């Protein structure tokens, strides 16, 4: 099953779980109310999530005057990807990491930590930025906002069931409690499965954008190594945003597990190495990014 097909199936499962929970609580009317609640919550998240996340991480906007090297790099990569240039932000965190946010390619942003710019080579930074552009081009930023909102709404409905009612036709209290526990758990599992699926797809598309899968493979290895021993304080305070980063900033599990928001770094690197081997070439398509040194700039 392709990444897009798997995402569609998982999104359908999340929607069915949400509507089914509403139906169990109050019949067809409950399902309709659940749908209205989901629409309102998703509309709010669709419009405001990018600003909220950037504010949570104290991201500051930069441009051609304040970060010319990074600005030029993102412009070139966006041109290569045939997409609008997103707003560019820098986060004052020593842990190397990055994320993308925004409701569509015309209203999107990429954010990189100062640690990423200081500790990785230009090729590796370019690969990371290409990965984040892939998330934007694939509408992953919107998909993950919707799934996170659904997961939150399912938890809310489950709590309403415990507090305000016995469910449709007087549901058994034990069954009601089980539903309250299992429905949010199932929603979280689906959300995490979607997140892992989109990371693999963004790796593949990001490698195409930057022109060399091994740049991204090297970047993932290095970020994982640093992230395992350097805290990201803003992410620790806002763990719900961890799934947005290219590598889990919270020192997550090393292997693909049900409760991991990211695939195993080893598995991602292996997939990228296979992609490089299958292509039969190592393209150095971005000649201006060929220097092996770290990114220069006021953050260094």
Do residues 230 and 294 touch, judged by C-beta distance below 8 A? no
The secondary structure of residue 242, as a DSSP letter, is: G
For residue 295, the Cα-to-chain-centroid distance in whole angstroms is 24
Asked if 132 is an active-site residue, the reply is: yes
Q: How many helices (H) and strands (E) does the chain have?
A: 9, 4
Q: Which two tokens stand for residue 252?
A: 């997550």
Burial (CB count within 10 angstroms: exposed 0-12, middle 13-18, buried 19+), residue 250:
middle
The secondary structure of residue 166, as a DSSP letter, is: -
For residue 132, what are the contacts with CB-CB under 8 A and spacing of at least 6? Answer: 98, 99, 100, 110, 202, 206, 246
CA atoms within 13 A on the CB side of 15: 13
Residue 130: closest CA among 235, 13, 211: 211
From the candidates 76, 132, 201, 208, give the one annotated as an active-site residue. 132
Residue 246: closest CA among 132, 137, 139: 132
Straight-line distance from the first to the last Cα atom of the chain, in angstroms, rounded to the nearest whole number: 43
The sign one gets for the Cα dihedral 108, 113, 114, 115 is negative
Would you please indicate which residues are annotated as catalytic (active-site) residues?
Answer: 132
């Amino acid at each position: 099953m392709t990444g897009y097909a798997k995402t569609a199936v998982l999104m359908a499962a999340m929607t069915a779980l949400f509507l089914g929970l509403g139906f169990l609580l109050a019949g067809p009317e409950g399902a309709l109310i659940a749908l209205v609640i989901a629409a309102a919550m998703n509309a709010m998240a669709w419009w405001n999530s990018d600003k909220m996340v950037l504010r949570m991480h104290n991201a500051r906007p930069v441009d051609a005057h304040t970060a010319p090297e990074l600005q030029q790099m993102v412009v070139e990569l966006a041109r290569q990807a045939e997409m609008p240039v997103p707003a560019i932000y820098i986060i004052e965190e020593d842990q190397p990491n990055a994320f993308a946010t925004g409701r569509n390619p015309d209203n999107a942003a990429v954010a990189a930590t100062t640690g990423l710019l200081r500790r990785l080579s230009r090729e590796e930074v370019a690969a990371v930025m290409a990965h984040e552009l892939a998330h934007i081009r694939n509408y992953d930023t919107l998909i993950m906002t919707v799934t996170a909102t659904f997961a939150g709404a399912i938890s809310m409905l489950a709590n309403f069931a415990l507090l305000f009612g016995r469910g449709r036709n007087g549901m058994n209290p034990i069954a009601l409690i089980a539903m309250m526990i299992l429905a949010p758990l199932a929603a979280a599992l689906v959300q995490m499965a979607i997140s892992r699926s989109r990371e693999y797809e963004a790796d593949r598309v990001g490698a195409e954008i930057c022109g060399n899968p091994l740049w991204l493979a090297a970047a993932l290895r290095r970020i994982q190594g640093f992230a395992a021993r350097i805290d990201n304080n803003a992410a620790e305070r806002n763990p719900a945003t961890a799934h947005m980063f290219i590598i889990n900033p919270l020192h997550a599990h090393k292997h693909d597990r049900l409760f991991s928001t990211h695939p195993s770094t080893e598995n991602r690197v292996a997939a990228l190495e296979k992609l490089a081997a299958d292509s039969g070439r190592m393209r150095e398509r971005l000649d201006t990014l060929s220097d092996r040194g770290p990114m220069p700039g006021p953050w260094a």
